[in-house]
Structure 1
Amino acid sequence: MQDRLQLYPKQDSTPPQPTADARPGYADLQQAAEWFAVLRADDAAETDRSRWRQWLDADERHRAAWSRVEAVNAEFGVMPQVVGHRVLARNGQHRRKAIKTLAWLAAGVTVAGSVGSSREVRGYFAALTAQYRTEVGETRRQQLADGSLLWLNTASAADADYSDVLRRIALHRGEIMIQTAHDKRDPARPLVVDVPAGRMQALGTRFLVRLEERATVLTVLEGKVMISPSGKAAPLMLPAGSRVRFDADAMGTPAPADESMAAWSRNLLMPDGIRLDDFLAELGRYRRGHLGCAPEVAALPLVGVYPINDTDRVLAALEASLPVKVRRILPWWVTVEAKDPLPGKPG
């Protein structure tokens, strides 16, 4: 990245990389963001760069935090190298069309700041060319050919492929909700959703499917859904009012689900006693950049109805209703911290 290269002398143009198991804490991430802001300032001095280098070399967690900050910054101006090379090699109209999609793809930059495995690359390209897509902060409702309804959550991508024998939806990224319609074909074609971890067959249902980094989450609100994992995990029939997390080789324990989990389809989030840090993690999906939560306020319970189409308004509402303040170190690095002092604690 350009910012990184400018900070090092030519003989040492790349900072040491953290190991895979280095996990930065909240304080490490805050310090990294503050250093990024200092070094990006017009009046940054060589002494600032020297002190930053001492901080960076002092702990692997510092290097991991710096990598995280650089990755977030990459969403705002640096394309993944492997994808960018292929896109920029195109000519004419196809090249212009491809470049327009890069802003959407930037939301998928990994914590390391680049696209990793070949499977990830295939997934990104499938998302780029998907029939139905949304950008960060956008939701979409789509009626399918059989009358079924498809909702896409923020930064999501899916394809619908209907044949004479099957109604197939492939989820490449993000989250969808489906309200199935009765198929007018005779015999009726099954409706399935395919993800890397397996296939889900709808049985007169309304349900949500969400792709996480290492698992798929299925939430059934009406009817039931049969899960057929692609690996060693046993199939499971999930009834209404349940959700489960699974991957190809392991099936989690079903947990209760309710209508609040589909509130995003109405551009709302409806926390009911959940922790503040969990709520902010969900809210962060609807905005670019980093949205963090200080440990001392992480467990504050939250109840309410919040619009996802204006996340800054939600943050202002949190400041007005909770003993917290919103701190913006950089335009794209925002954290929610305790007001000083917290009620019941010494100043």
Structure 2
Amino acid sequence: MNAFVSVPLRRHDDDLERQAIYWLVKLQSQPDNFDLQKRCNAWRHERAEHEQAWQAVQQTSGLLRQNIARLPAEDKKTYVHALKYAGTNLERRKNMGRLAAFFLVAAPVGWFTERHLPWERWRADYATETGQQRDIELPDGTLLTLNTDSAVRVRFSELQRTVLLDRGEVFIRAAAGGSSSPQLPLRVLTDQGLMEAPRADFAVRLLPRQASSRLSVQDGTVRMFPGWRDSSITRTATLAQADSTWFITRSGVQRQGLANHGQGLDPFSWTSGIMVVDDMKLTDFLAEVSRYRPGYLGWDDDLVNVRVSGTYRLADTTRLLALLVEALPIEVVTRTALWAYVRRASK
């Protein structure tokens, strides 16, 4: 069932910072492109806010370069120290986000950067580290549970109840609106879309590699609006009912079918500190485990045909891997406490 609704949305200043970062990185990669310089200057002079964002990003990137220059480049851990050092000279909530965002775009260092320099955590109102989960109660009684390595921002007022999911996954038990606006819906925003419900229990997870968000509804009904950033404020809603899972992209929504990734995973079991799976591909299972395990976890691609079922506790992933070795024809190779690789058992 579809319905037309009005969705008044306003872009946050973070968008201007991202635009400034985009121009800065483009100019650094093409220093002799005079047409690019002219277009950047035109953008800067288009609005006063553009120039302010440009100056802020310039200042942040300068501090970053100064501090990294003092450190041995071969030691990736030094990037963390550089970020912390530069952060002491900036307003933490506003500028650490810019600092890390610039670093991620301009100087990525693969897996280490993605796992250990997540700029979303620095600008978040609430965040978790790898392997950590956290419960938060919002002013209206809404309950949030953040999964591992997640970050959210919260915007609450008499006119809105909004949760912005910037990283990871969140389970939401949405309460009714306050006494002044009992019908005010709770909204969850991601880069791919908007989800809203007056009252419902549901989980939202970002899937960056698929450029999508996954919505799993446990109870109630959630309205979905894909691509809210890219088009008009009036659009058609798709309704997600209880016991359904959907994938949201900027161009549309699709209900999960039997062929979808993760079909054997209970999308709510993590809220109890466990992972419940039924006939799940081992490679998909290990990808889930890696979300809760600090360090690197890799595996052979030929394990894709191995299946796993059962209930596994997430608090101790080393023990979890040991249980897999007992049940399946696999072995785990470890080099350090933070490096593990799963492969077929040697004959």
Q: Same fold (TM over 0.5)?
A: yes
Secondary structure, aligned partner of 2:79: coil
Q: 1:268 to 1:143 in 2, by over 3 A?
A: same
Give ranges in structure 2 of 5+ residues lacking alignment: 1-73
1:162-200 Cα shifts (integer Å, max 9, x gaps): 110211111111100001112232432211011112211
Q: 1:87 to 1:259 in 2, by over 3 A?
A: closer
Letter of the structure 2 residue corresponding to residue 312 of structure 1 = T
Residue 221 (str. 1) matches residue 218 (str. 2): yes
Residue 322 (str. 1) matches residue 319 (str. 2): no
Q: How far apart are the structure 2 equivalents of 1:215 and 1:87? A: 31
2:250 pairs, out of 223, 248, 252, with 248
Q: How far apart are the structure 1 equivalents of 2:110 and 2:264? A: 35
Q: Percent identity?
A: 29
Residue 236 (str. 1) matches residue 238 (str. 2): yes
Measure how far apart 1:203 and its partner are.
3.9
- Corresponding residue number in structure 2 for 1:4: none
Equivalent residues of 1:197, 1:246 under 8 A apart: yes
Q: Where do residues 277-292 of structure 1 align in structure 2 (5 Å cutoff)?
A: 277-292=283-298
Measure how far apart 1:297 and its partner are.
2.9
Letter of the structure 2 residue corresponding to residue 199 of structure 1 = L
- Corresponding residue number in structure 1 for 2:146: 152
Letter of the structure 1 residue corresponding to residue 217 of structure 2 = V
1:70-90 Cα shifts (integer Å, max 9, x gaps): xxx98x72437xxx7665234
Secondary structure, aligned partner of 2:267: helix
Letter of the structure 2 residue corresponding to residue 216 of structure 1 = S
Measure how far apart 1:293 and its partner are.
2.2
Q: Where do residues 76-225 of structure 1 align in structure 2 (5 Å cutoff)?
A: 77-79=77-79, 87-91=84-88, 112=110, 124-188=118-182, 189-213=184-208, 214-225=211-222
Equivalent residues of 2:265, 2:275 under 8 A apart: no
Secondary structure, aligned partner of 2:177: coil
Equivalent residues of 2:196, 2:223 under 8 A apart: yes
Equivalent residues of 2:265, 2:276 under 8 A apart: no
Higher strand proportion (structure 1 or 2): 2
Letter of the structure 2 residue corresponding to residue 296 of structure 1 = D
Q: How far apart are the structure 1 equivalents of 2:216 and 2:78? A: 35
Q: How far apart are the structure 1 equivalents of 2:325 and 2:214? A: 31
Measure how far apart 1:310 and its partner are.
0.3
User: TM-score under structure 2 normalisation?
Assistant: 0.64
Equivalent residues of 1:203, 1:223 under 8 A apart: no
Q: How far apart are the structure 2 equivalents of 1:165 and 1:90? A: 33
Letter of the structure 1 residue corresponding to residue 313 of structure 2 = P
1:267 pairs, out of 270, 273, 276, with 273
Letter of the structure 1 residue corresponding to residue 215 of structure 2 = L
Q: How far apart are the structure 2 equivalents of 1:173 and 1:242? A: 22
Q: 1:184 to 1:94 in 2, by over 3 A?
A: closer
Q: 1:289 to 1:166 in 2, by over 3 A?
A: same
Measure how far apart 1:92 and its partner are.
7.1
Q: How far apart are the structure 2 equivalents of 1:224 and 1:259? A: 21
Q: 1:306 to 1:90 in 2, by over 3 A?
A: closer
RMSD: 3.5
Equivalent residues of 1:127, 1:157 under 8 A apart: yes
Measure how far apart 1:263 and its partner are.
0.9
Q: How far apart are the structure 2 equivalents of 1:283 and 1:107? A: 24
Secondary structure, aligned partner of 2:269: helix
Equivalent residues of 2:264, 2:279 under 8 A apart: no
Q: 1:91 to 1:329 in 2, by over 3 A?
A: closer
Residue 300 (str. 1) matches residue 294 (str. 2): no
Q: How far apart are the structure 1 equivalents of 2:325 and 2:161? A: 46
Letter of the structure 2 residue corresponding to residue 298 of structure 1 = V
